[in-house]
Amino acid sequence: MACTVKRWNKTYGSTWRNVRRHVLDRDQYRCQIAMPGCTVTATQVDHVIPLAFGGSPFDMANLRASCASCNAGRSNKLRRKPSRTW
């Protein structure tokens, strides 16, 4: 299977499926967040910088494998308003 990801302009659905797979592959299906309660086995992909904060949706550098537990815990934490520190 070719690993070149050239068709960045395809529909979100198939692009996301591809990127998600690449990220899970890269991180060997192990959760990269490892919060308390982590199940280690990654089934989801987490945005390091959430889209709401201007993160890039399909940038491999902004994505990491995450288990369902960590992903859910993280979004709960991020739900509060961002505080401006500058």
Residue numbers of the site for Zn ion (CB under 5 A)?
Answer: 31, 33, 38, 67, 70
Residues 36 and 75: their CA atoms lie apart, in Å, by: 15
The smaller minimum CB distance to Zn ion, of residues 23 and 31, is found at: 31
Q: How far is the CB of 32 from Zn ion (least distance, A)?
A: 8
- Shorter beta-carbon distance to Zn ion: residue 14 or 41: 41
Residue 69 is given by DSSP the state H
Min CB(19)–Zn ion separation in Å: 19
Q: Are 46 and 63 in contact (CB under 8 A)?
A: yes
